[in-house]
Structure 1
């Protein structure tokens, strides 16, 4: 009986030691996982002049609604090359068409098309493929991100906002892409392929600005588009490799009450 008791005591002590070690190791691992959590930057290339695009616009709207509490960042880029079909997309820009063409080069594609979705700068597919999009989001949320970025808007005036950023894990080929987005809008289309339809959009990119990262933190002046309204707009910033197009980290920032109050004081002066 005595040897059994001794063995039991030793086993208890060993188990306690292992449990203690596991507890000590668990906390930092959990903290690291939280700090490097996965994310999904979803870039939709769309156009009001394209009859195939409304289903993709509706899909990202559903994803946006479902993902409010997740690191899922939707950016809708309206390209301008379908404007020639008779309807000029009011949100379109040649700069956004150029960005899509850059992805064609990054991903070795034969050309551009709409609707197209690119996830984290690495994967592309037809923008209305719901199952493919959901799988891509799930896969990227489960991965650990290699870099992190934090954003804060500190001040706003009539034409610009001051954006403070802190970056970790970015290499020398990485830049900070800053998108100013209108959260939602509708259009009544009177010509072209979507003639007679009222189209709804979410997360519409109105300005895209590239910030060179000379240091791990800094402040950038961000241009605010015509029609800016702090209540219906936000900023999404993401770290992108200039050589591969891969996106390694992302964050969003809202136009806070403090920043707006700062702008009001400036106007009074």
Structure 2
């Protein structure tokens, strides 16, 4: 169900507590507008090669100019450890990217930049350098996106399209847990305690952009959903079969 049809509001006290947690976040994590790029990681607690990439996301999440989202996939769960953050929706998104990017097989860890560039980089500074290189290219994010939070609503502002840009995209909210520390009991990472940053809990399309500046208002109830304490707003185009494509703009709370 779309958030736009949601009308149940959380109690004021509960909302204020959640809003306070946003307000007391570090300056770099409270509101991110005009980021240099979006870094999406597909990972798993059962993947022996993933902890290094997880640490990269932890580093990037602390910056004020990069938006990061970690999607824990579920296809490694059969190996003996059930990823506590995994979800079928995350796996579906990765398969969608594979079709968009022309990749035959999915794997972990996989990093996607701006929805259109696949990289095996696991060095934070090199990823930042690559995002900066993408500026001014077909893989940049040229549409302004901002988000504001008040006691009653979350307001998303989307800018106009520029010449030669796609003029149709979804407005997607990616809800995430900012910080999760997990002690892994079995599998390839047995005995490790790993810190996961910005682990996605839900993706929701809340509107459609058609190239003109627009505003979307969501009720405060969206902050009452269980399982998240942050979110990213992605203005994302899509290809055939509605697979995720280029991210034209983004912001985060």
Q: 1:123 to 1:224 in 2, by over 3 A?
A: farther
- TM-align CA RMSD: 2.4
Deviation for aligned residue 1:169: 2.4
Whole-Å Cα distance in 2 between the matches of residues 145 and 48 of structure 1? Answer: 31
Number of equivalent positions: 206
* Match in the other structure for 2:122: 128
Higher relative contact order (CA 8 A, sep 6+): 2
Matched, 1:191 2:186: yes
Deviation at residue 186 of structure 1 after TM alignment: 0.5
Matched residue, 1:182: 177
Tell me how far apart the structure 2 counterparts of residues 210 and 227 of structure 1 sit (CA, whole Å).
18
Question: In the alignment, is the contact (CA less than 8 A) between 2:201 and 2:227 conserved in 1?
Answer: no
Structure 1 window deviating more from structure 2 (208-217 vs 115-124): it is 208-217
SS in 2 for 1:203: strand
Residue deviations 1:119-174, cap 9 Å, x none?
00111122525565233222235767421112123347xxxxx4321111255520
After superposition, residues 4-153 of structure 1 pair within 5 angstroms as 39-65=36-62, 67-68=63-64, 70=65, 72-126=66-120, 128-130=122-124, 132-140=126-134, 145-153=141-149
Structure 1: gaps of 5 or more residues = 1-35, 157-161, 254-269
Contact 1:146 1:169 in 2 (8 A): no
In the alignment, which residue of structure 1 is the partner of 2:22? none
State the alpha-carbon separation in 1 of the partners of residues 223 and 73 from structure 2. 20
Counterpart of 2:155 in structure 1 is 164
Describe the SS at the equivalent of 1:91. Answer: coil
Q: In structure 2, what is the Cα distance between the partners aligned to 1:126 and 1:40? A: 16
Consecutive unaligned residues of structure 2, counting only runs of 5 or more, are: 1-32
Q: Equivalent residue for 2:205?
A: 210
Answer whether contact 1:37 1:142 (CA < 8 A) is retained.
no
State the Cα distance separating 1:183 from its structure 2 match. 1.2
